[in-house]
Amino acid sequence: MDILNGKTVIVMGVANKNSIAWGCAQAIMASGGKVVLTYQNDRLRKSLLRFVDPDQPMVQCDVADEGNIDAAFTSIREQYGPVDGLVHAIAYADKESLENDVLQISKAGYNLAQDISAYSFLAVTRSAVRLFPELRSVLTLTYFGSTHVIPNYNIMGVAKAALEANVRYTAKELGPQHVRVNAISAGAIKTLAVTGVKNHGSLLKMSREATVDGESVTQEEIGNTAALLLSDMSSGVTGDIIYVDKGVHLM
């Protein structure tokens, strides 16, 4: 269905073709929407060019620099016009912080994980709302390690908990502007982010075995839900965490 026909969506955080963000981008395009990808640096741009169409709109954006966010979104507005939706699929913790117990994490490691994984959502949403009056839907990605203790997820679970709180508060604040804010809590699939978790093979196995049908959720299934949440068909949904994990969170 062309539920996103005529709409433009910024997708932030595609690292490679296995990224959930790339699944979202593909579903948006399959639903009739136009996608503008952002990338952090030249290294990631080269990675994107290995699998995206050469004509795919792309703009550099480093979310650690708020001035760079404004500059990137201004460039998008000038080059591609109005933007209707935004997908924030960005998270990061350094290797030492991710591997250590939460009590052993340094202040610098804690702040870095929060800055990139949670605060950046506020920064990009604030900039997008200001620069794109047509914006109607903002979406981010989370994981149920935010509310459950998942082996080796550690500081990222803490950061995702903050991210989910950000979703609820910004949904309330942006309601009068008719901007909806939601998060997808995606099941564990083999992405670059998941492979950064210690013993990630065990995590993937545990997640697969906990699904209601014994099969892992797919990149396409997560992307399809993103397309729905970005469309006018979900106009009554805001401030929610939508689980797309084939029932893992029920167990």
Q: Is 153 a catalytic residue?
A: yes
Nearest CA to 207 out of 197, 199, 217 is that of: 217
Nearest CA to 55 out of 34, 72, 69 is that of: 34
Phi/psi at 51 (5° precision):
-135, -10
Q: Is 63 assigned a ligand-binding role in the annotation? A: yes
Q: Answer whether 241's CB lies under 8 Å from 185's CB.
A: yes
Q: Is 143 a catalytic residue?
A: yes
Q: Is 240 assigned a ligand-binding role in the annotation? A: no
**Which one-letter DSSP state was computed for residue 154?**
H
Q: Is 10 assigned a ligand-binding role in the annotation? A: no
Q: Is 163 assigned a ligand-binding role in the annotation? A: no
Q: Answer whether 87's CB lies under 8 Å from 139's CB.
A: yes
Nearest CA to 131 out of 76, 194, 94 is that of: 76
Contacts of 124 (CB under 8 A, 6+ apart): 12, 63, 69, 73, 86, 88
**Which one-letter DSSP state was computed for residue 116?**
I
Nearest CA to 8 out of 27, 30, 32 is that of: 32
Q: Is 17 assigned a ligand-binding role in the annotation? A: no
Q: Is 40 assigned a ligand-binding role in the annotation? A: yes
How long is the chain? 251
Q: Is 20 assigned a ligand-binding role in the annotation? A: yes
Q: Is 123 assigned a ligand-binding role in the annotation? A: no
Q: Is 193 assigned a ligand-binding role in the annotation? A: yes
Q: Is 13 assigned a ligand-binding role in the annotation? A: yes
Nearest CA to 40 out of 13, 75, 1 is that of: 13
Single out the catalytic residue among 39, 153, 169, 243.
Answer: 153
Single out the catalytic residue among 92, 143, 169, 243.
Answer: 143
Q: Is 159 assigned a ligand-binding role in the annotation? A: no
Q: Is 19 assigned a ligand-binding role in the annotation? A: yes
Which residues belong to the annotated binding site?
13, 19-20, 40, 62-63, 90, 93, 160, 189-193
Which residues belong to the annotated binding site for substrate?
93
Catalytic positions, written as ranges: 143, 153
Which residues belong to the annotated binding site for NAD(+)?
13, 19-20, 40, 62-63, 90, 160, 189-193
